[in-house]
DNA sequence: TTGCATGTGAAGATCCTGTGACCAGGCTCG
DNA sequence: CGAGCCTGGTCACAGGATCTTCACATGCAA
């Protein structure tokens, strides 16, 4: 159902935030160190002991690829060239043993983004990878944010607007941001959290702005999509987004239940604010 | 013509292919070698013996900057950070004498794209610079050189001009670039985005240039194509391009409707009504 | 019930944008 | 060399849209 879809999208997005990196190398020590560091950073590491097909690389949806050309053996240059040509958005870092200037020049000319010489510090390699990814990202087409449909409404980040039945809800920028934020998560968001992520700084004690905006949002949602409840209040905590037809009491009962699977219970504790 | 050349880094790049590079260094031999190689490649090299103001860098409309942090002395890190922050599209390469891992890590974290250790081969340095620039340019929006018609106007990138009914709008270079950028996207573009892509560096807080140019654009569009609205304001967000006849109330209603140009909504839940 | 927390409406403050005037720098032409 | 023009960019003001605040009503929990 739609609720499930929303949760799925949010989860996917969270997973997508993890950088995906593949390393083609056979040095166990190197891999181990790298693996440890990257795990701490929350990256997604895939170790490969030899060249894989381009299609396999494509399917991995990588952000970056680190490769020891020595592992590739003959044909390494062609491989490098094909990879860089086929995946122009991929950051490619060659990390290998001692090399000649000519080799490094060749590698870079073929499309590699950087050349590291082993042995090297994992930290430095990571920085180089980050720099390459950063550079790639900056010029990526501004992320085409997909429209999402929840309940009867469609949220279009590209237009900073939500629609119901093709008609705009006429949300203001701030209203939209709050709706967008709420819709991306199925858990309860505390006011402070909402405020901080939308306004960009800490909420002053006793500020009611979030409440007021939630009211405006509900009003517009009600007008555009009557018969549905989208924003639910959790007394003493905050708000939770979940499109629900508001007929029937059982639905309401459901709201009271713990709809989360993973340990968000802590958040539901009656956090007595000062 | 020259007018086109003067206007904006992007324009300069397109107008002729000479890459613009500045080097902050004091090693005459290094500079000499680099200069020779770059001249052969047809690059535009600017040698600097010490740090210059950010604004000066901005006005140089560079593609890349090579800097020896030793020349910068104390405050080099802050300088590096400021440069990288203000000119996110600039390829920054640190090329300096022996350094510690920690220093290299710091430099890269602050936004440098690469770190070369002197002494180094000019050829290799050039490759590194090229790699950084390549990353920068690779994913640039595929420049549509074809004339495109939107509403009543025709945009001709090859002539750097827009026409309505065969008559030129007499746009200046910057006006044209903004119109061209806007016309290539259906989504709302934030001012910062517009600024960054047209001017080539980060917009200063409170800068109203984009607004002013939008006004000038609208004025010329209105004169050349009365009865049409091309640039729409999204309060608190930015501008969006969409040609629309502005007569009649129904048209106004149309504005409020969700533009569905390409059906990527199809992937999502089919808006279950009832 | 009391004590808070939240919903609601409206008014005033604040912010955002449109606009015209103005200034500086560069180029052209005399 | 300077005058004049063009272009890009800044500034201040005005009007309107939006946000915040406040007072009060309502609802929840103990």
* 208-227 on B, CB < 7 Å from strand C: 208, 211-212, 214-215, 218-219
A173 → closest Cβ in B134, B193, B237:
B237
Contact A156 B114 (CB under 8 A): no
Comparing B119-123, B160-164, B249-253, which segment has the lowest mean pLDDT?
B249-253
pLDDT-derived band of residue B247, with 50, 70 and 90 as boundaries? Answer: low
Any strand D atom closer than 7 Å to A209 CB = yes
Contact B135 A158 (CB under 8 A): no
Task: Quickly tell me which residue has 């018969």 as its tokens.
Answer: A227
Q: Output the pLDDT for position A264.
A: 39
Q: Is residue B87 within 8 Å of residue B96, measured between CB atoms?
A: no
Q: How far apart are CA A161 and CA B255, in angstroms?
A: 12
Q: Output the pLDDT for position A268.
A: 36
User: 3-state class of A98 per DSSP?
Assistant: coil
Strands (E), chain A: 20-24, 44-48, 64-67, 91-96, 114-117, 148-150, 153-156, 161-164, 167-168, 189-190, 228-234, 238-245
Q: How far apart are CA A39 and CA A18, in angstroms?
A: 10
- The predicted model gives B194-199 an average pLDDT of 94
Contact B109 A121 (CB under 8 A): no
User: Which chain A residue has the Cα nearest residue B125?
Assistant: A105
Annotate chain B with three-state secondary structure: CHHHHHCCHHHHHHHCCCCEEEEECCCHHHHHHHHHHHHHHCCEEEEECCCCCHHHHHHHCCCEEEECHHHHCCCHHHHHHHHHHHCCCCEEEEEECCCCHHHHHHHHHCCCCEEEECCCCHHHHHHHHHHHHHHHHHCCCCCCCCCEEECCEEEECCCCEEEECCEECCCCHHHHHHHHHHHCCCCCEEHHHHHHHHHCCCCCCCCCHHHHHHHHHHHHHHHHCCCEEEEEEECCCEEEEEEEECCCHHHHHHHHECCCCCCHHHHCCCCCCC
Any strand D atom closer than 7 Å to B62 CB = no
Residue B238 pLDDT > 70: yes
A149 → closest Cβ in B128, B137, B268:
B268
Q: Output the pLDDT for position A182.
A: 97
Query: B111 contacts in A (CB within 8 Å)?
Result: 134
pLDDT tens for B112-147 read: 999 999 999 999 999 999 999 887 664 445 556 789
* 218-257 on A, CB < 7 Å from strand D: 235-236
Q: Which pair of structure tokens corresponds to residue B13? A: 């790049």
B123 → closest Cβ in A101, A112, A172:
A101
pLDDT tens for B41-92 read: 888 888 998 888 888 888 888 889 999 999 998 999 999 999 999 898 899 9
Q: Is residue B128 within 8 Å of residue A108, measured between CB atoms?
A: yes
Q: Of residues B3 and A239, which shows the higher confidence score? A: A239
Any strand D atom closer than 7 Å to B209 CB = yes
Residue-level pLDDT, tens digit, chain A, 274 residues:
333 333 333 333 344 568 899 999 999 999 999 999 998 888 999 999 999 999 999 999 999 999 999 999 889 999 999 999 999 889 999 999 999 999 999 999 999 999 999 999 999 999 999 999 998 877 665 566 789 999 999 999 999 999 999 999 999 999 999 999 999 999 999 999 999 999 999 999 999 999 999 999 999 999 999 999 999 999 999 999 999 997 644 444 444 444 444 433 333 333 333 3
Phi (first) and psi of residue A89, to 5 degrees: -90, 0
pLDDT tens for B172-193 read: 999 999 999 999 999 999 999 9
User: 3-state class of A194 per DSSP?
Assistant: helix
Query: A5 contacts in B (CB within 8 Å)?
Result: 268-269
Q: Is residue B50 within 8 Å of residue B77, measured between CB atoms?
A: no
User: Which chain A residue has the Cα nearest residue B133?
Assistant: A135
């Amino acid at each position: 159902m739609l609720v499930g879809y929303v949760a799925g999208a949010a989860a996917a997005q969270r997973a997508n935030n993890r950088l995906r990196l593949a390393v083609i190398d056979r040095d166990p020590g190197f891999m181990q160190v790298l693996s440890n560091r990257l795990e701490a950073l929350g990256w997604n590491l895939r170790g490969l002991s030899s060249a894989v097909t381009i299609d396999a690389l494509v399917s991995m949806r990588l952000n970056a690829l680190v490769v020891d050309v020595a592992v590739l053996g003959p044909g390494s240059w062609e491989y490098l060239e094909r990879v860089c040509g086929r995946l122009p958005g991929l950051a490619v870092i060659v990390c290998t043993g001692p090399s000649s200037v000519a080799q490094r020049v060749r590698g870079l000319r073929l499309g590699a983004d950087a050349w590291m010489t082993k042995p090297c510090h994992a930290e430095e390699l990571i920085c180089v990878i980050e720099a390459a990814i950063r550079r790639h990202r900056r010029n990526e087409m501004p992320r085409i944010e997909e429209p999402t449909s929840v309940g009867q409404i469609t949220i279009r980040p590209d237009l900073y607007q939500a629609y119901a039945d093709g008609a705009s809800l006429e949300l203001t920028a701030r209203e939209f941001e709050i709706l967008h934020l709420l819709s991306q998560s199925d858990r309860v968001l505390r006011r402070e959290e909402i405020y901080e992520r939308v306004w960009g700084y800490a909420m002053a004690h006793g500020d009611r702005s979030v409440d007021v905006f939630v009211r405006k949002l509900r009003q517009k949602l009600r007008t555009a999509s009557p018969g549905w409840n989208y924003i639910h209040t959790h007394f003493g905590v905050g708000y939770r987004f979940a499109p629900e037809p508001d007929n029937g009491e059982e639905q309401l009962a459901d709201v009271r239940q713990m709809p989360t699977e993973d340990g968000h219970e802590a958040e539901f504790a009656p956090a007595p604010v000062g």
